[in-house]
Amino acid sequence: MTLLQLQYFQVLARVLHYTRAAEELHISQPSLSYSISELEKELRVKLFEKENRKISLTAYGEQFLPYVQRSLALLDEGAAVLEQMAGNLPQVAKLGYFHSISASLIPALVEGFYREEDNRSIRFQFTEGPSFDIFNQVKAGELDMAFGMHRDDWAESVIIMRQPLYLAVPSDHPLAARHSVTFDDFAREPQVMLDKPSSLRTQMDRIFAQRGAVPNVVFEVRECNAALQYVALKFGVSVLPQVPAMDTEKVSIIPISDQDKEFVRTVYLSWSRSRPMSPAAQRVRDYIVEHYSIPE
């Protein structure tokens, strides 16, 4: 099969009309029909079926389409990388991360990376979002790599840090003066928790279940800053990683005792096992692994 055949197939699968597809591809309709026919002969299956004057993808065509889309997207990505290299343009590494490391890890990482002169032609394209969302963006090829709390078979992952969790309480709360707390100290308190898709909520639900307790969840929020706002308004307490918004007089942040070892999150750097990386992305990944990775 040829690259042109795959491009023709992708366009026809999208518009499902031979005349319009041929016009978009700037070829004649007979040429398009012949090319698709030859592709079907090589694959020994029908990719399209015609009913009256309408065409649609067969089950074989539907199965084949995602592979064609990924293959053509990878070729476009490779061509763009070569164009950047040949033109001495700034090369881009697309890196994702979640909010609670935005002020601690990311600035230090970037500063250290640019101390090496060979890295100064590389530019970062950052994406901040929930851990699960950015992990899926790596899988889809929208990001080269990402920091997060998730792992999967399709991804290569290394541990970057273990992030302690803290109890946030209103500044006049009875626990506010404590140097540390245990799970039993706050298990019965009204809880402000992140909503279900977040890795932190999954972790908290697991901890409560393992202890045979049911959390009294009074608010569910999308991200840590919102949780802190509800704590400041005295609606409840919240278990959170350290974030910049904690620096407020309305909220006290208390370490959770070392005996409660579940209150730590493991942060990974992950990238696709199968998707090739640009030289810029490889350089960023190798720098992070060399300077920040820690043993399992």
Kindly report, residue by residue over 250-285, the tens digit of the pLDDT. Answer: 999 999 997 778 899 999 999 999 888 888 899 999
CA distance 163 to 148: 11
Q: Render pLDDT for 56-94 as a digit per residue (tens, 0 to 9).
A: 999 999 999 999 998 888 888 777 777 766 665 568 899
pLDDT at residue 85, as a whole number = 65
pLDDT at residue 131, as a whole number = 87
Our CA dihedral for 148, 68, 71, 14, rounded to 10 degrees, sits at -80
Parts of the chain belonging to CATH 3.40.190.290:
161-265
Q: DSSP character for 115?
A: H
What are the residues facing 148 on neighbouring strands?
268
pTM of the model: 0.66
Q: Which residue has the tokens 């990944």?
A: 285
pLDDT at residue 82, as a whole number = 74
Q: Which residues of the chain have pLDDT under 50?
A: none
- Which of these, 291, 225, 280, lies nearest to 95 by C-alpha position? 280
CATH number of 161-265: 3.40.190.290
% residues pLDDT > 90 (the chain)? 66
Q: DSSP character for 110?
A: H
Task: Assign a CATH topology to domain 3-86.
Answer: Arc Repressor Mutant, subunit A (1.10.10)
- Neighbouring residues of 182: CB distance < 8 A, sequence distance ≥ 6: 256, 257, 259, 260
Burial of 69 (0-12, 13-18, 19+ CB in 10 A): middle
Parts of the chain belonging to CATH 1.10.10.10:
3-86
Torsions phi, psi for 105 (to 5 deg)? -85, -45
224-231 contacts: CB < 8 A, separation 24 or more?
224/99, 224/100, 224/194, 225/99, 227/168, 227/192, 227/193, 227/194, 228/168, 230/192, 231/168, 231/169, 231/170, 231/192
